[in-house]
Amino acid sequence: MNTVAEESSWWDTIKKQSFLIDPYPQLKAWRELGPVHHDRASDVYFVLGHNEFAKLARSPKMGRDTRLWRGGWATPEAKTRDPVCYQLFSEMQPQMINVNGADHQRMRGVFEQAFRPAAVAAMAPMIEAEAVKLLDAMGNGGDLEFIADYAAPLPLRVVCNLFEIPAEMDQQVLAWSDSMIRVLDIMTTPEQRKEALEALHEFKIYVRELIAEHRRNPGNCLLDTLVAAFEAGTLNEEEAVMNLVSMLIAGHETTVTLIGNGMLCLLRNPEQLAALRADRSLVKTAVEECMRYEPGGNMILRVAIEDFPVGDLVIPAGSLVLGFIGAVNRDPAVFADPERFDISRAKNPHLTFGAGAYTCIGAGLARLEGEVAFNALLDRFSEIELAGEARWRLDRMNARSLECLPVRLRRNM
């Protein structure tokens, strides 16, 4: 445990620009103080050690239902203090990632079949076709903005295809997602919360219409799986709507960061990019290393259902626990030479997709999207280099994503 003087500053430090631009030196220094830290100012438990977070994230004594958090958004006190946040939280509650135990298994079970390895592998031609469309639009290359032109539109279209949402809706889904992603971020302003609530209401109306349409005219996509679960009574109406909304958000925002942050890692390490170009069998370990080195999420949440001993302290039931993934993924107790970006790293048990019962259901799909995105880009362009300064988004803490990544591309002739 750290001294009181050190403890008081953590919550403020993680909102600072210097931390948002490059959190790793600070995370390293904090991890060296100990694997778990209780921040007295915020009463949050931060976890920085890999073994400690893996154990905790996998334990049934830890859940994701924030209604059990004593300082949470669902308390009567929170309702008076911040009614917009309370309403947002309440409306977003009925989805798999926000519930524990049997309810979680019931909701997750609806989607599991669709994300099994064979089902994901069958999505490869669709993902490749979407990547090719975006690359075709780049012509012979030149100076481009990698996030807007490639990293962002590809995962959005892929997840929309899973639910047969037409391409004309991409910009609208993107706008709703952008507002919603900020909802529970510690840097979100009250105005942004109001905007998020409006976006959520519009998004829900659209999703309700989609569900109604597929009830009238059944098809054969993931939306029909959801509709079948609703009609069988496995999901109630609010659960059907919210799980679909959150799947559309979770299914693209995070994968944008895999492709965008990963590309930046490769561009900053040109010898690694050259190695990948020369030997494409490295693409799987390259994607894993991008995920480890620059995870798109800064923190993964748990709420203690029971008292939980970890490190040299006991986390009391009702506490909020946040795993710092940037620290966990560079823990020298688990990773050799952790500060080095190495696309051929053989042992890479990063926790970017979380762990245990809540492990990302879309992990296989995200990995495949990363592989396709990098392979298709390298097939098309013989030279790829940074063409200016990459800018991190500085208005959010939970996600670690790029606002802009200027690249210069030259085509294979």
Give phi and psi for 320, each to the nearest 5: -90, 130
DSSP-assigned letter for residue 316: P
Helix (H) or strand (E) holding 299: strand 299-304
Please, which residue, 20 or 321, has the CB nearer to ligand HEM? 321
**Spatial distance between the Cα atoms of 31 and 311, rounded to a whole number of angstroms:** 12
Size of site (CB under 6 A) for ligand HEM: 27
CB of 194 to ligand HEM, least distance (A): 26
The span from the CA of 116 to the CA of 113, in Å, is 5
Tell me if 255 contacts ligand HEM by CB under 6 A: yes
Q: According to the binding rule CB under 6 A, does residue 354 interact with ligand HEM?
A: yes
Q: What is the dihedral of CA 313, 316, 317, 320, to 10 degrees?
A: -80
Among 10, 73, 293, 358, binds ligand HEM (CB under 6 A): 358
Cβ nearer to ligand HEM, comparing 349 with 388: 349
Q: Does 113 participate in binding ligand HEM (rule CB under 6 A)?
A: no
**Which residues have a Cβ under 8 Å from the Cβ of 175 and sit 6 or more positions away?**
199
Strand residue runs (E) in 48-155: 62-63, 141-145
Rounded-to-integer distance, Cα 154 and Cα 103, Å:
32
Q: How far is the CB of 251 from ligand HEM (least distance, A)?
A: 3
44-47 and 320-324 beta bridge pairing: parallel
**In angstroms, rounded to a whole number, what is the distance separating the alpha carbons of residues 276 and 344?**
9
Window 63 to 82, contacts with ligand HEM (CB under 6 A): 64
Residue 405 CB, shortest distance to ligand HEM, in Å, is 16
Nearer to ligand HEM, 14 or 300 (CB): 300
Q: Binding segment for ligand HEM among 37-45, 139-147, 311-319, 349-357 (CB under 6 A)? A: 349-357
CB of residue 71 to ligand HEM, shortest distance in Å:
19
Q: Beta-strand (E) ranges in 140-210?
A: 141-145
Q: Closest approach of Cβ 142 to ligand HEM, in Å?
A: 28
Asked if residue 361 binds ligand HEM (CB under 6 A), the reply is yes
User: Of 112 and 143, which CB lies nearer to ligand HEM in the complex structure?
Assistant: 112
* 309 residue type, one letter: P
Site string for ligand HEM, 155-184 (x = CB under 6 A): ----x-------------------------
**How many whole angstroms separate alpha carbon 396 and alpha carbon 217?**
40
Using a 10 angstrom Cβ sphere, with 0-12 exposed, 13-18 middle and 19 or more buried, the burial of residue 118 is exposed
Which of 36, 44, 54, 97 contacts ligand HEM by CB under 6 A? 97
> Phi, psi (5° rounding) for residue 236?
-80, 175
Q: Restricting to residues 25-64, name those near ligand HEM by CB under 6 A.
A: 57, 64
- Closer CB to ligand HEM, 372 or 409, in the complex: 372
**Does residue 147 bind ligand HEM (CB under 6 A)?**
no
Residue 402 interacts with ligand HEM (CB under 6 A): yes or no: no
Choose which of 108, 208, 284, 393 interacts with ligand HEM (CB under 6 A).
108
Please give the C-alpha separations between residue 53 and each of 36, 63, 219, 398, in angstroms, as whole numbers: 9, 13, 41, 17
Task: Kindly write out the interface string for residues 190-229 of this chain, putting x where it contacts ligand HEM by CB under 6 A and - elsewhere.
Answer: ----------------------------------------
Cβ proximity to ligand HEM: between 27 and 258 the closer is 258
User: Which one, of 331, 262, 364, 359, lies nearest residue 57 by Cα?
Assistant: 359
Residues engaged in binding ligand HEM (CB under 6 A) = 57, 64, 96-97, 108, 159, 247, 250-251, 254-255, 258, 296-297, 300, 352-356, 358-362, 365-366
